[in-house]
Structure 1
Amino acid sequence: MQKPDGVARRHDPSQKSFASDNWAGAHPQVLAALATANGGHQPAYGDDVYTERLQEVFREHFGPRAAAFPVFNGTGANVVALEAVVPRWGAVIAAGTAHINGDECGAPEKLAGAKILATPTPDGKLTPELVDTHLHNFDGVHHAQPSAVSITQSTELGTVYTPDEIAVVCERAHRLGMLVHLDGSRLANAAASLDVPLRAITTDVGVDVVSFGGTKNGLLFGEAIVVLNPEAVHDLGYLRKMTAQLASKMRFVSVQFEALLADGLWLRGAQQANAMARRLAAQVAGIDGVRVARPVQANAVFAVLPRPAAEGLRQRHSFYDWDHSAGEVRWMCSFDTTPEDVDAFAADVEHEMQRLRQPRRQDAGPA
């Protein structure tokens, strides 16, 4: 239908996807905040009143020394943060499944100059012992020097670090002279899962700098780098500009984070996404031939099912393969996923599995 402003709606807003929480739209409160910040003129490049207020908002969640640097996207946040914690000859210890290793097209290495030391893990989580596997690289001129550890919370496998698990990794990294970066594109989901404040799994356990996600939890666009250790992590303003992540109309990034963080919207959205993932896992786990492959601790469900069933399901729903050879797929829930969305999806999974179990009709052949 043609709208009065000349823009036609080109999608069905009632359709939901389990492909990624990036596929979801913006939360209505976030859109309202953007309208509030619109109109009139405000200084550019972060000198506006909304970005000034944002510093107070982030300090309420991460502590009095926190400093927030809004950026355009998650890869940009990770690249700028890693630029700040590694020298040009430095390396970053990360899980092999980490987004900075497998899903950023080499940006951390090309733009930040940070060699990624990809470390196999059973569950997407680093441990002090796994950090220690890279100790032989210290002090050798032929090796990029381990300068930082990067962990993801929640992980790319849907698992969640406890505060104690992060604390011991930070302690080991700091004792070895390294800093700790946390990729928190789904940090809200982890905090909701653990029922702890954001600082309990960042500031209070020794993390130095965080890439804090907003897009996956209701923002239209934008992420934020949060410096927690200003003595060790500095020059973010220059690095952000140099890496093309400085927004001229920054008020429109900042006001979204204010809407997300000021009255608990971040937590409500994450709780909803997590609850829907648990609901989905419980329903598909009872379907013969479907196996939930990994613990459901945040808003991701990893499942194994026959490839024909997955392909049939894709005729009505979008989602990604995780391990094609094993038949493992990933289903993501979002802040706007509803029980009805989950129930309809699970019913379609059951339908496809029943279809596979039906005996194929045989041709009668010649009389």
Structure 2
Amino acid sequence: MADAPTVTDQPASDAIRRHDPHSRGFASDNYAGAHPEVLTALALANGGHQSSYGADAYTAHLQEVFRRHFGPAAEVFPVFNGTGANVISLQAVTERWGGVICAETAHINTDECGAPERVGGLKLLTVPTPDGKLTPELIDRQAFGFTDEHRAQPQVVAITQSTELGTCYTPEELRAICDHAHDLGMAVHLDGARIANAAAFLDVPLARFTTEAGVDILSFGGTKNGLLFGECVVVLSPDRVRGLPYLRKETMQLASKMRFVSVQFEALLTGDLWLRGARHANAMAGRLEAALRTVDGVRVQRPVQANAVFAVLPREVTERLQKRYRFYVWDERTGEVRWMCAYDTTEDDIDGFAEAIAEELRAYAAQHDRSGVTGPA
């Protein structure tokens, strides 16, 4: 019988590389691979046996890591993904008849296949916003009908930082939202899929716009900032939260080998890796926006505050450009597209992409000059 492999063994693998490791796109920061420092941490956590389902040394230490950022009352629950983190966070601060007030553009409303409603059993009470951000006044459009048995009861306000439109709440804006929600008897959930990008833009500690602002529970994102997999639910107001251990299991978000989720967050948050990656991604988005200012035919739609650039291009240009780079159309009606930068996006990536945009726009302009047709964008 062969001996069991040890942690120092380097066995050959039957797997082969099936992609170009130098390829770059602008579709999502999820497209980026795992940060080398995260991969090193995973290797360190490997080998030997550790207790499963979170009773391991790495998950125990993770509580201390998060408390350094969010305060002594914080409690962290690692999960597999962002949708799971959002669903169980919202379930933990609502009752079965509860409603969740959120922006129309919120990820929980547009990109989670109805999971908060189907899996969480919650009613989403959406509000249109010009920039993806809620305000106390916008919240009041849905914060009514308390004690009305015919209406889902507004019990939580869900916000996203940074928002799906790449904008960021200031700590003062978040404090106003939390105070207003609490005065109405509601809790506040923060979807922090890109929370590091917001902190980098605001240049403040994470607690400034979460714990200190009054946020009760948040989903802390990792995969968009260099992790291989995993997110965390962070409880900031224990008195408002119920049943998280059971909800995590019930919604299939309890990892058996949780040490491999936890050690990634230890690598991310113990030092400044989380902030380095976010600052770099934000800077690359700023570089792209600056490069486009001198390009005729492209219009940046929104403030570039985090790692996203939203712009409007002629439809033909978008289709041609997508054959060269991966990115998504944000709004088919207006031709708005979204370009995302990641921790591993380089200046050369940005400069090459900006030049490709300019080339396609010049070709489009020349074609229409020859035809004498301006055509719709």
With the shorter chain as reference, the TM-score category is: over 0.9
Q: What whole-Å deviation, never above 9, does each CA across 1:259-293 have from its counterpart, x for those lacking one?
A: 00011100000000000000001111210011101
- The residue aligned with 2:208 is 200
Structure 2 residue aligned with 1:289, among 284, 297, 305?
Answer: 297
Q: Partner of 1:82: helix, strand, or coil? A: helix
* Structure 2 residue 154 is the aligned partner of structure 1 residue 139: no
SS in 2 for 1:112: coil
The C-alpha deviation readout for 1:189-229, integer Å capped at 9, x for no partner, is: 00000000111110000000000000000000000000000
Shift of 1:325: 1.3
Indicate how the Cα distance of structure 1 residues 359 and 87 shifts in structure 2: closer, same or farther if over 3 A, else same: closer
Query: CA shift at 1:5, angstroms?
Result: 1.8
Superposed counterparts of 1:147-296, under 5 Å: 147-296=155-304
Tell me the C-alpha RMSD between the 2 structures.
Answer: 1.1
Q: Displacement of 1:136 after TM fit?
A: 2.9
Q: Does 1:19 align with 2:27?
A: yes
Matching residue within 301, 306, 318 for 2:314: 306
Matches of 1:328 and 1:291, distance apart in 2: 9
Secondary structure of 2:87's partner?
helix
Distance in 2 between the 1:117 and 1:321 partners? 26
Structure-2 separation of matches of 1:281 and 1:238: 45
* CA deviation map 1:93-137 (0-9, x unaligned): 000000001110110011111100011001100000011112332
| Matched residue, 1:350 | 358
The 3-state SS of whatever aligns with 2:144 is helix
Q: Which residue of structure 2 aligns with residue 81 of structure 1?
A: 89
> CA offsets, 1:120-158, max 9 Å, x none?
001100000011112332111100000000000000000
Q: Which residue of the partner structure matches residue 38 of structure 2?
A: 30
Worse-matched range after superposition: 107-116 or 72-81: 107-116
Partner of 2:7: none
- Look up the match of 2:331: 323
CA distance, structure 2, for counterparts of residue 137 and residue 305 of structure 1: 43
- Read off the aligned partner of 2:352 and give its amino acid letter: A
Separation in 2 of the partners of 1:26 and 1:133? 41
Quote the residue 1:91 is aligned against: 99
Structure 2 segments unaligned to the other structure (5+ residues): 1-10, 372-377
**Which residue is 2:17 aligned to?**
9
Report the CA distance between 1:161 and its aligned residue.
0.2
Distance 1:167 1:7, change over 3 A: same
Number of aligned residues: 360
Mapped to 2, the partners of 1:136 and 1:162 lie a distance apart of: 26
**Alpha-carbon distance in structure 2 between the residues aligned to 1:312 and 1:75:** 32
Alpha-carbon displacement from aligned partner over 1:10-29 (angstroms, at most 9, x marks no partner): 00010111000011100000
Q: Quick one: percent identity of the two aligned structures?
A: 64
Structure 2 match to 1:365: none
- The answer as to whether partners of 2:79 and 2:254 remain within 8 angstroms in 1 is yes
Which segment is superposed worse, 280-289 or 31-40?
280-289
| Aligned residue type for 1:230 | P
Superposed, 1:80-119 pairs within 5 Å as 80-119=88-127
How far apart, in 2, do the equivalents of 1:221 and 1:151 lie? Answer: 23
Which letter maps to 2:348?
E
The residue identity in structure 1 corresponding to 2:354 is: A
SS in structure 2 opposite 1:135? coil
Question: Which one-letter code corresponds to 2:60 in the other structure?
Answer: E
User: Structure 1 residue 341 and structure 2 residue 343: aligned?
Assistant: no
1:40 aligns to what? 48
What's the secondary structure of 1:224's corresponding residue? strand
Structure 2 length as normaliser, TM-score? 0.94
Query: Given the superposition, is the C-alpha separation of residues 29 and 195 from structure 1 closer, same or farther in structure 2, using an over 3 Å criterion?
Result: same
CA deviation string 1:146-185 (max 9, x = no partner): 0000000000000000000000000000000000000000
Tell me by how many angstroms 1:359 deviates.
4.1
Letter in 1 for 2:248: R
Q: Provide the C-alpha distance between the structure 2 equivalents of 1:353 and 1:359, rounded to a whole number of angstroms.
A: 10
Q: Which amino acid aligns with 2:361?
A: M
Q: Is the contact between residue 86 and residue 219 of structure 2 (CA under 8 Å) also seen in structure 1?
A: yes
TM-score by length of 1: 0.97
CA displacement 1:53-89 (0-9 Å, x = unmatched): 1000000001011000000000000001001011000
CA distance in structure 1 between the aligned counterparts of 2:92 and 2:203, rounded to whole angstroms: 30
Instruction: State the Cα distance separating 1:4 from its structure 2 match.
Output: 4.6
Q: Secondary structure at the match of 1:36?
A: helix
SS of corresponding position for 1:35? helix
- Rounded Cα–Cα distance in structure 1 between residues aligned with 2:120 and 2:356: 44
